[in-house]
Amino acid sequence: MDYLLQSIQGSAFSHWAQSSLYPIVVTLHAIGLAMLVGLLTVIDLRVLGFARQLPLPALRQFMNGAWIGFWINAASGAVLFSIDAKKDFYSGLFRVKLTVIAAGVILAKVIDSNVLSVSDAPAAIEPTARAKLLALASLLCWTGAIVSGRLLAYSTFGDVGAE
Amino acid sequence: MSAAAQAIAHPILYWIKYTPAAAFVRDSPWAFPALQCLHFIGMALLIGAVGTIDLRVLGVGRPLPIDSVMRLLPLALVGFGINLLSGALFFAHDPFQYAFNLSFRLKLFLIGAAGLNAIWFRLQQSRMESALAKMIAALSLGLWLGVIIAGRFIAFTAQP
């Protein structure tokens, strides 16, 4: 495993990315975050009861923007991983981040197909308690992804807070 | 910076630098990373709400009544408030770095422009389907995108 991580980190691509792409890649990662988490947060808060006037089915169209943000971040995240493969792979924060992202993606899919696709009027206005639980879990996952991702930037092999 | 401007700015920056809040951010190993987390969460709230409104004005999610998406405005203001506060603490923790950083100055300028643009947008309230409203919405998306880019580049911009 270490050999694989070392060869990713030592590859010509990784060096090139680190020396000339790094500012652009972290900027793309922030833009993707704003699209993905921003739009999903609006949807989750609406499910939880904020801005009740917004019809839920119409909000589905904003899922596309969230998925564009997701793919921007999957791609930019892969480049960032290649720069710090070994540190990231052995970081607890990185593992937490990947786990909550996976959970968040599944929750977004479930909310999209089970909560937003309601066509009957009552459910479009007041989602069920189960739907609200899903939205709350989604918000927690994405908050966790932001926090673990940010702290990862300040960690050196796991000791968080040592700038 | 002219000598006169420096004579005014330096004592102010020096005062900011030694406020208790600024000293706390510098001395605590956790304060800066924690503020960064808040700044990104605030960004997601602000951009998510503003982006949804702008996209709707531009035609995405047509069945959504425009009046209803305007209900997201408080969310944008909460996000902006979180980021104004966390951003002010970033500035205070090292004012001489930020005040002379070109990316930071560009970011402030873009935020100011986005704010004026938002006021102009409010004035169009009764004409949300007009070409002008669409133009303002597109400008808003562009300005906030610029704010994110300039903000990220603060760390990569050398002091002049």
DSSP codes, A148-159:
HHHHHHH-BTTB
Distance from CA of B92 to the nearest CA of A (A): 18
CA angle B2, B6, B7 (to 5 degrees): 120
CA A121 to CA A115: how far, in whole Å?
12
Question: Which chain A residues contact residue B61 at CB under 8 A?
Answer: 58-59, 61-62
Give the ranges where chain A is alpha helix by DSSP (H).
2-9, 12-16, 22-48, 56-59, 63-83, 85-89, 92-110, 121-125, 129-154
The answer to whether the CB atoms of B51 and A23 lie below 8 A apart is no
Question: Which chain B residues contact residue A65 at CB under 8 A?
Answer: 51, 55, 60
> Looking at the complex, does the CB of residue A122 fall below 8 Å from at least one CB of chain B?
no
Q: Backbone dihedral region of A128: left (phi > 0), alpha (psi from -120 to 50 degrees) or beta?
A: beta
Residue of B nearest to A149 (CA): B37
Please tell me the predicted confidence (pLDDT) of residue A160. 43
Q: Which residues of B touch A (CB under 8 A)?
A: 29-30, 32-33, 36-37, 40-41, 43-49, 51-52, 55, 60-65, 67-69, 71-72, 75, 145, 148-149, 151-153, 155-156
Name which of B144, B152, B156 to mutate to probe chain A: the one with the most chain A Cβ atoms within 10 A of its Cβ.
B152
Q: Over 60: is that where the pLDDT of A163 sits?
A: no
Integer angstrom CA distances of residue A137 from A7, A99, A107, A140, B24:
37, 13, 8, 5, 33
Please tell me the predicted confidence (pLDDT) of residue B62. 85
pLDDT digits (tens, 9 = 90+) for B13-65: 999 999 999 999 999 999 999 999 999 999 999 999 999 999 999 998 888 88
CA B95 to CA B89: how far, in whole Å?
9
**Model-level pTM?**
0.91
Integer angstrom CA distances of residue A124 from A4, A89, A133, B138:
49, 42, 16, 29
Question: Which chain A residues contact residue B51 at CB under 8 A?
Answer: 34-35, 38-39, 65
Distance from CA of A10 to the nearest CA of B (A): 23
CA B49 to CA B20: how far, in whole Å?
33
Centroid of chain to Cα A93: 14
Sequential DSSP letters for A29-54: HHHHHHHHHHHHHHHHHHHHTTTTTS
> Looking at the complex, does the CB of residue A66 fall below 8 Å from at least one CB of chain B?
no
Question: Which chain B residues contact residue A153 at CB under 8 A?
Answer: 36
What band does A2 get if pLDDT is binned at 50, 70 and 90? confident
Q: What is the ipTM of this complex?
A: 0.92
CA quadruple A122, A123, A124, A129: dihedral positive or negative?
positive
Q: Comparing A94 with B129, which gets the higher pLDDT?
A: A94
pLDDT digits (tens, 9 = 90+) for A23-74: 999 999 999 999 999 999 999 999 999 998 888 888 888 999 999 999 999 9
> Looking at the complex, does the CB of residue A23 fall below 8 Å from at least one CB of chain B?
yes
pLDDT digits (tens, 9 = 90+) for A17-34: 787 889 999 999 999 999
pLDDT digits (tens, 9 = 90+) for B74-120: 999 999 999 999 999 999 999 999 999 999 999 999 999 999 999 99
- Domain residue spans in chain A? 2-153
Residue of B nearest to A160 (CA): B30
Q: In the numeric block, which tokens belong to residue B138?
A: 């597109």
The chain-wide mean pLDDT, for chain B, equals 92
For residues A61-100, one letter each, b for 16 or more C-beta atoms within 10 angstroms of the residue's C-beta and e for the rest, the string is bbbebbbebbebbeebbebbbbbbbbbbbebebbebbeeb
Q: Over 60: is that where the pLDDT of A138 sits?
A: yes
